[in-house]
Amino acid sequence: MEQAPVPHALLGPVLGFLGVWRGRGQGGYPTLDGDFAYAQEVRFSHDGRPFLRYEARAWLLDGDGAPLRPAARESGWWRLQPDGRVEALVTQPTGITEILVGHAGEGAVDLAAHSVALAPTAKDVTATRRRYTLAGGDGDSDTFTFVHELAAVGQPLQRHLSATLRREVGQSTPPTSSWNSSVQ
């Protein structure tokens, strides 16, 4: 099959997220030595069924915006329901799997942890919340913001990551110091 499949009708509220997105963000958490800058790439795709394939990866950046090393990586699925509800499954190689539930509409997807499963050696994560918002609140934007809240290692739910990403085309590659330098 060389032609992209027609999106399932249930994907309507999230069609604006389809594609490859790249940008930069800021992160921090009370248990870390300090705040940090990172570059991120997110991919949303579909195969004609009522769910999105989700992939994200990030790189820590130095003070000049050059990549230091790979950071977070995760993949999963967003399952769309007829009433705009979203059930998301997100797995990380660090041994954490999240099942999130929420709603998609008006250019935003809000998800909160329904449950978190941990491998025996994973860090203790008890809750997460994520918000993906298309700029302008419509499905036609080439920019979206991402906010990830985390409750882990005895800390209450609080902001952990935030980023602004722009729609890109082409191959997935690690960032360079000029990669999306206009995105702060």
Condensed to tens digits (0 to 9), the pLDDT of residues 11-69 reads 999 999 999 999 999 999 999 999 999 999 999 999 999 999 999 999 999 999 999 99
| Residues contacting residue 2 through CB under 8 Å, at least 6 positions apart | none
Say yes or no to pLDDT of 73 above 70: yes
- Cβ atoms of 174 and 59 within 8 Å: the answer is yes
Lowest-pLDDT choice from 33-37, 92-96, 113-117, 178-182:
178-182
For residue 131, CA distances in Å to 53, 63, 118, 147, 169 come to 17, 27, 22, 5, 23
Q: How far apart are CA 153 and CA 155, in angstroms?
A: 6
Q: What is the reported pLDDT for 172?
A: 47
Q: Give Dmax (Cα) for the chain.
A: 49
pLDDT band at 140 (very low <50, low <70, confident <90, very high): low
Percent above pLDDT 90 for the chain: 84
Say yes or no to pLDDT of 178 above 50: no
Taking the CA atoms of residue 121, residue 125, residue 126 and residue 127 in that order, the dihedral angle to the nearest 10 degrees is -150
Q: What is the reported pLDDT for 3?
A: 77
pTM score: 0.88
Say yes or no to pLDDT of 102 above 90: yes
For residue 180, CA distances in Å to 145, 153, 163, 184 come to 14, 33, 12, 8
Please, what is the average pLDDT of the chain? 90
